[in-house]
Chain A
Amino acid sequence: MRKDKKLILLKELLLTDDRALIGALNLKINTLESIIEQREKLSQKVDPLIDLKLQEYTNDIPKKLGPMITESLKNEILKSKNQVVDALYPIIGKMIKKYIQQEFKILSDKINHQLKKRFSIASFLRLFKSKFMGVDEESLMLQELAKTAIQEIFIIEKKSGLLKANFSKTTTIDKEVISAMLTAIKSFVEEAFITGEEHLEAIEYGLYNIHIQNFESYYIAVVIHGVYDTIYKSKLKSKLLDFSANNISNTTNTNLAEKLAEVFKNGII
């Protein structure tokens, strides 16, 4: 083939293709245009119909589908009881746990009460034990009661949070800073969460309970390790009332700390 002929052919090829392509594109565009036009025309008519139907359908769902859904849910639950239980377990578990804890507290209070009543039997058993094992009765008794023990007692000025006196089994913590902190916490809680004449009565802190008892110008905070139930609480309350009446109310008592140590010496009430 000659060179210019080749060129003509190439031109033809290229131009033909172009033209064909443009033609095809035009066709496509036209079809699309007409489709869109038709759609628009159609939708003007159809849309309101669809809307109406949809509305009817939505209105009917509860009537028509409600019973069906309930029924199939029932079946599903029946078929897969275990899964449902699994899903609900954590939630119910928490509720049950709370309930059980509460019941346990009541039960343990009851048992403690019973034990108190049957003290004579307990002491008889102890006597028997001590004779049998050769340990003195008192140390056995201490051992039994050691479940609840007083770790610290703070007598604190209400307003300033300054420490008036302290009884302590430890020496590591700074009592004066603790007193101020306790007072800040107490003030904050009473101001923020408690209305009227109520007062913060106890703080739970890990294994410890802090019993708080208010007096006129001061309060007493007792850090307790072990069981802190209603029986113990009431016993401690009257003990502190006694202590206050005998030692704090007569203002000139300078040896409050010594008195505290004397009265609560082994931390057991």
Chain B
Amino acid sequence: MVSSKKVVLLGHFGVGKSSIIRKFVNNEFSSDYKVSIGVHILKKEVQLSNNDSVSIIIWDMEGTDSLTLINKVYLLGTHSFIYVYDVTRPLTFKSLSQDIISLKTRFPTSLIKTVGNKVDLLTDIEKEKHQVLFKINDYLSSAKTGENIEQLFQDIAIELKH
């Protein structure tokens, strides 16, 4: 049986939200940057087993400097948030822990995932350092190489199903 879930991607400008979705939905990547305006909606079905799948309705939000700037009605009824930041730009994860706390209090029943993107731009040493800095439940991903993209949505689908 197919069930549908609402997944919202949040984060600063240019961290790679749209790129992550594009990689996941169409398996494509492009290095040119088209700023998202408003909200863009896409869908992909994730197969869990032979007769079990989750239809993920993905809301790709425009980048913001602050969560408070997002029209709150867009966030209602979200099953899972994906908070994306750019591992090469500290500004984009400066308010990460605060933002996560605020999301948890506002949407206590929603699943929240944090994703450090553009990990392909880090050296192995830098990557290790970064991993120490952030907790284990975070994903380090790359929309360019596809690293952890499939995994991220697969995990979300499984968790939302149960």
Contact = CB atoms under 8 A, between A and B. Distances in A.
Contacts, number: 48
The prevalent SS among residues of B at the interface is strand
Contacts of B6: 160-162, 180
Contacts of A191: 71, 73
A188 interface: yes
B41 interface: yes
B106 to A, nearest CB: 13
Interface in B66-88: 71, 73-74, 76-79
A116 B41 CA distance: 43
Interface in A151-185: 157-163, 174, 176-177, 180-181, 184
Contacts of B43: 174, 176-177, 180
Nearest to B55: A176
Contacts of A137: none
Interface residues of A, number: 17
What range describes how many residues of B lie at the interface? 10 to 19
A180 B78 CA distance: 12
A180 B41 contact: yes
Given A160-B79, A161-B57, A176 B71 contact: no
Interface of B: 4-6, 38-39, 41-43, 55, 57, 59, 71, 73-74, 76-79
Listed from nearest, the 3 A-B pairs whose CB atoms lie closest are A160-B77, A159-B77, A187-B73
Given A159-B76, A180-B6, A180-B59, 14 more contacts: A159-B77, A160-B76, A161-B57, A174-B43, A176-B55, A177-B42, A177-B57, A180-B43, A180-B57, A184-B41, A184-B59, A187-B76, A188-B71, A191-B71
